[in-house]
A and B are shown apart, each in its own frame.
Chain A
Amino acid sequence: MTRADKLVIVGVLVAATLLGSSFWLWKAHNQITDVPQVIIEVNGEIKEQIPLTELKPGKQYQIQGVLGYSVVEGGENKVRMVESPCPDKICVGMGWIEHPGEVIVCLPNRVVVRIIGKSNTKLDGISQ
């Protein structure tokens, strides 16, 4: 092995260590956003932001909407609308949502409950 070879090896080791530790730090720093967040909006304005894992069964949140109070209830890592002043109750009928990207909308009361965060889809396919 020549000196240049050793330089290459050391260079790769240093690059791997630097990249690895910076990724690790970055991940540790952004830990909070890794947990999906439940966001409750009224007229597009965020009223509540709760980490999905903090929801407890039976825990309720009263949200002042345009028509009146909507009641959002937590479950085991899921959330639903239990009461709404709207006439059709479509939002209540939607039941539980638990995955990032899912939404409950109550148009008459202008209340939106959504879950944001990284969806935990695994990589598919094999790389070769």
Chain B
Amino acid sequence: MGTREEQTRRLLYLSLLVAGGTVLHVIESYLPALGALPGAKLGLANIVTMLALMAYPPADVWKVVGLRVFLGSLLGGTLLTTTFFLSSAGAVGSAIVMMLALKWGKGVISTVGISILGAVAHNLSQLIVAAFLTHSWGIFFYLPYLLLFALPTGYFIGILTRLIRRALPSFFSVESAGNDKNQQDLDHQCGICQ
């Protein structure tokens, strides 16, 4: 765990991540639907999940993700509605996939790739839950379009995450510093954000 100061820092940073995620969640719900596709969206809140994944162990990431969805839905007025279950499914699904991608793809896959995988997982888990809620598998016809859509949004979110992390160096010196070093070296190969 570390010293008292480190613990306080961790609590503070996790709280900041939850707060940021909640705000992004709410802002996102006010954005008009992108295209005519249900479920197609930017995935701004995924930025927070990724930041948490890069600096904290899975247990802390789940706290951030869970609290973000709960508070975001509470403030957005969608708590315990269909929207809430869809949001939860998307958030949990993308967190699981990004967690695995970060674990297995360490040193190989960059933030952008992880973000795209997260976006795809988000769509997939939402569609599965939506299929259960509506008792119709027909909505899987949307999947190809959503997959295509996940590419630009995932790319954009990945770049954003990278830029934000670069602006917050102290964030990532807390724990698992080596883990992040690796990731940053990889990201330096990216030409766009240099």
**Which residues of A come within 8 Å of B, CB atoms?**
1-5, 7-9, 12-13, 15-17, 19-20, 23, 27, 123, 125-128
Contact A19 B144 (CB under 8 A): yes
**Sample of 15 A–B contacts (CB below 8 Å):** A1-B190, A2-B110, A5-B116, A12-B147, A12-B150, A15-B147, A19-B143, A19-B144, A123-B38, A125-B82, A126-B33, A127-B39, A127-B83, A128-B29, A128-B41
Given contacts A13-B151, A16-B148, are A2 and B87 in contact (CB under 8 A)? no
Number of interface residues of B (CB under 8 A): 37
* Chain B window 19-41, contacts with chain A (Cβ cutoff 8 Å), 1 for yes, 0 for no: 00000000011000100001101
In the complex, besides A1-B113, A23-B144, A127-B126, 16 extra interface pairs with C-beta distance below 8 angstroms are A1-B110, A4-B108, A4-B109, A5-B116, A8-B109, A8-B117, A9-B113, A12-B150, A16-B144, A16-B147, A19-B147, A20-B144, A127-B38, A127-B83, A127-B86, A128-B83
A-B contact count (CB 8 A): 77
State the CA gap A12–B144 with chains docked (Å): 9
Interface of A is mostly: helix
State the CA gap A126–B148 with chains docked (Å): 20
Interface of B is mostly: helix
**Which residues of B come within 8 Å of A, CB atoms?**
28-29, 33, 38-39, 41, 78, 82-83, 86-87, 105, 108-110, 112-113, 116-117, 120, 126, 130, 134, 139-141, 143-145, 147-148, 150-151, 155, 186, 189-190
